[in-house]
Chain A
Amino acid sequence: MHAQVEELVALVPEAVLEAVDMAGQITVTIVPERALEVFRACADRLGYGFLVDCTAVDWKDRTEGRFDVVWWLHRHRDERRLRLKVRIAEGVEVATATPVWRTANWMEREVWDMFGIRFAGHPNLERILTWEGFNGHPLRKDFPVEGIDTGAAIYPETYPPGGGPSPKAGGAQ
């Protein structure tokens, strides 16, 4: 087992499900319920002070949970990186990383916006890249690339979902 995985397993026993080494990058799959505990162990005990990024991947038809949520961490001490991953089903919440790394705030808002994954305890989980009246989560695999008509939430009577202002037929006048 890789040294980086070993020290993590020692701190949070039974939270690590799987560890993969690919192209020199280590990915550790953890138990979703213990995510916050793992974040704290990584940041406070193992020195991963820098959360590089957080995102998600949609595996639409996977039986053991539809989404992967992925974080990658960096520590300046020896310039090593570690990728954490949880597998969750649709509608399951993940703990927010904002109490540990404040930079997670916008990253998690983006994941909520794009994938519809909620982060429990997030201070302000609003949409960030699409507008606040948008319906749907564009990076899900069942969202069409050409987009959908979500209406206009500020004029719901005139432009309901499916009848938004559009040059095509079917839009309200």
Chain B
Amino acid sequence: MSTDLHLIQSMPDSEEMEVSFGPQHPATHGVLRVMVRLDGERILDARPIIGYLHRGTEKLFETMYYNGCVPHTDRLDYTTAAANNQAFVGAVEKLLGVTVPPRAAWIRMMLAEMQRLASHFIWLGTHALDIGAMSPFFYTFEERDKILDRFEEYCGARLTLNAMRVGGQPYDLPEGWTGRLRVFVDQLPARIAEWERLLTNNRIWKLRTVGVGVISAADAVNWGLTGPPLRGSGVKWDVRKAIPYEGYDQVEFDVPIGQNGDTYDRYLVRMEEMRQSLRILRQCLDREPDGPVMAKVPKVIKPPAGEVYHSVEGPKGELGFYLVSDGSTQPYRLHVRPSSFINLQVLPELVRGHLVADLIAVIGTLDIVLGEIDR
């Protein structure tokens, strides 16, 4: 306890120091605090301290109607609102036994893939910025803005979308939306190639990422990693393929994997995921199912008593909702399986023995958002 109150604590009779890194530090991506035990520049141990953004979301869910929970899911991982919405409404629909109309599933899939791109853009921009490459930040945020423009046209919001309802979609697509999305989808590959030209073979980038934060495939599974941190270690596993939801079994895409499980491989995996998301978007744009966007569900959702778990492949890993209902109009218990929380847990394993500067690279490569970790 007493050591926690000091920012830097020297150990008696040794060169070791304990340094409090964060919670107010731009490279911790929010309010993450890491107590780092150092010998000079070398990290002996790191202990993440979380909870600074704890809002009791899971407790609040228990006081709300089902559709009232949707805007609160936006605020878990505020960079992937569409994925959060999708996982939550999917859980309720599974318990209700409702299948959403094809057109609603189609809109959801496009929103989710656009959100994956937007989230990866933030990751690339901030990760490169942390390591010292300033310009990708501006380029990726420019492209992300184009996605947010489409979100705004669809539902009026750019960040906290509240774009899905139990049983379907609240609105149909506005006039000309798919055309504008197609323009974006067509021009993005050139942009991604541009960013890769800046980084992939950049000597400084490789020096900072190759061999940093290595985790083996077996350890990655045992630590419960999902998403790009798992695939970077060479495990070909993606919720969209393993337990398909919405229309993911009807589109073609590859699951990219890395070989060495280091920061560089996780970078390559995410870059390829952007291209695969574009591939899915293109297939979505080519087939436009007709029909309603909302299934027949009552105004006040009242699922039967029981429990259900539904997960989606969020941009950061498996994002799931565990819903326990007692047959009333509010969830009895709603638990989030937060991908960032579980991926962050492995941080000490990844940084032990590395330099302080590598800690920054590893926090960036795990792609965490504290809103979801602390809930």
Are A and B part of the same complex?
yes
Q: Mark A residues whose CB is within 8 Å of B.
A: 22-23, 25, 27, 49-53, 55, 57-58, 70, 72, 76, 79, 81, 83, 101-103, 105-107, 114, 127-132, 138-139, 143, 145, 147, 154
B341 proximal to A (CB < 8 A): yes
Q: Mark out the residues of chain B between 117 and 160 whose CB falls within 8 Å of any chain A CB in the assembled complex.
A: none
Say yes or no: A138 contacts B59, CB within 8 Å: yes
B272 proximal to A (CB < 8 A): no
B224 proximal to A (CB < 8 A): yes
A contact residues around B311 at 8 Å (CB): 52
B contact residues around A127 at 8 Å (CB): 51
Q: Mark out the residues of chain B between 246 and 297 whose CB falls within 8 Å of any chain A CB in the assembled complex.
A: none
Closest residue of chain B to A110 (Cβ to Cβ) is: B341
A contact residues around B306 at 8 Å (CB): 22-23
B63 proximal to A (CB < 8 A): yes
Say yes or no: A57 contacts B309, CB within 8 Å: no
Expressed in whole angstroms, the minimum distance between the Cβ of A47 and any Cβ of chain B is: 11
| New A-B contacts (6) at CB < 8 Å, excluding given A58-B333, A72-B322, A145-B62 | A57-B324, A70-B322, A102-B223, A103-B225, A106-B345, A131-B51
Q: Mark out the residues of chain B between 55 and 84 whose CB falls within 8 Å of any chain A CB in the assembled complex.
A: 56, 58-60, 62-63
Expressed in whole angstroms, the minimum distance between the Cβ of A87 and any Cβ of chain B is: 13
B307 proximal to A (CB < 8 A): yes
A129 to B311 alpha-carbon distance, docked (Å): 23
Expressed in whole angstroms, the minimum distance between the Cβ of A135 and any Cβ of chain B is: 15
A contact residues around B333 at 8 Å (CB): 57-58, 139
Say yes or no: A83 contacts B51, CB within 8 Å: no
Say yes or no: A22 contacts B243, CB within 8 Å: no
Say yes or no: B324 contacts A79, CB within 8 Å: no
Partner among A52, A53, A55, A139 whose Cβ is within 8 Å of the Cβ of B59: A139
Say yes or no: B224 contacts A50, CB within 8 Å: yes
Closest residue of chain B to A114 (Cβ to Cβ) is: B58
Q: Mark out the residues of chain B between 28 and 52 whose CB falls within 8 Å of any chain A CB in the assembled complex.
A: 50-51
Question: Would you give the 0/1 interface string for B221-245, flagging 1 where the beta carbon is closer than 8 Å to chain A?
Answer: 1111100000000010100001100
B contact residues around A49 at 8 Å (CB): 221-222
Say yes or no: A51 contacts B94, CB within 8 Å: no
Partner among A23, A50, A57, A131 whose Cβ is within 8 Å of the Cβ of B95: A23
A contact residues around B374 at 8 Å (CB): 129
Pair count A-B, CB < 8 A: 88
A51 to B320 alpha-carbon distance, docked (Å): 13
Closest residue of chain B to A133 (Cβ to Cβ) is: B1
A131 to B33 alpha-carbon distance, docked (Å): 13
Say yes or no: A130 contacts B54, CB within 8 Å: yes
Expressed in whole angstroms, the minimum distance between the Cβ of A60 and any Cβ of chain B is: 11
B342 proximal to A (CB < 8 A): yes
Say yes or no: B308 contacts A25, CB within 8 Å: yes
B18 proximal to A (CB < 8 A): no
A74 to B175 alpha-carbon distance, docked (Å): 43
Say yes or no: B54 contacts A103, CB within 8 Å: no
Say yes or no: B224 contacts A101, CB within 8 Å: yes
Say yes or no: B308 contacts A76, CB within 8 Å: no
Say yes or no: B341 contacts A130, CB within 8 Å: no
B contact residues around A70 at 8 Å (CB): 322
B contact residues around A58 at 8 Å (CB): 333
CB contact under 8 A between A53 and B63, given known A23-B308, A102-B222, A130-B54:
no
Question: Would you give the 0/1 interface string for B91-106, flagging 1 where the beta carbon is closer than 8 Å to chain A?
Answer: 0001101000000000
A contact residues around B58 at 8 Å (CB): 114, 139
A contact residues around B171 at 8 Å (CB): none
Say yes or no: B224 contacts A79, CB within 8 Å: no
A142 to B320 alpha-carbon distance, docked (Å): 26
Expressed in whole angstroms, the minimum distance between the Cβ of A151 and any Cβ of chain B is: 15
A contact residues around B221 at 8 Å (CB): 49-50, 76
Say yes or no: B320 contacts A52, CB within 8 Å: yes
CB contact under 8 A between A55 and B54, given known A70-B322, A103-B224, A138-B59:
no
B contact residues around A25 at 8 Å (CB): 308-309
B113 proximal to A (CB < 8 A): no
B375 proximal to A (CB < 8 A): yes
B354 proximal to A (CB < 8 A): no
Q: Mark out the residues of chain B between 202 and 230 whose CB falls within 8 Å of any chain A CB in the assembled complex.
A: 221-225
Expressed in whole angstroms, the minimum distance between the Cβ of A161 and any Cβ of chain B is: 17
A127 to B50 alpha-carbon distance, docked (Å): 10
A contact residues around B320 at 8 Å (CB): 52-53
